[in-house]
Amino acid sequence: MNIHDFRRIALSLEGAEESSHMGSPDFRLGGRIFATLAAAKQGYGNIMITPEQQAAFVEELPEVFIPVKGGWGGSGATHVRLDLANEDLLTGALRTAWKVRLEKNTKADKKGRPRSRPQPAKSPSPKDR
Any domain includes 120: no
Q: Which domain holds residue 39?
A: 3-112
Amino acid sitting at position 85: A
Spans of the chain, pLDDT less than 50: 115-129
CA 14 to chain centre: 15
Pairing status of strand 24-29 against strand 16-21: antiparallel
pTM for the model stands at 0.84
CATH of the domain at 105: 3.90.1150.30
Any domain includes 122: no
Strand runs labelled E in 50-128: 65-67, 77-81
Any domain includes 84: yes
pLDDT of residue 110: 80
Give me the number of domains the chain comprises: 1
Residues 33/27, Cβ–Cβ less than 8 Å: yes
Any domain includes 47: yes
Any domain includes 8: yes
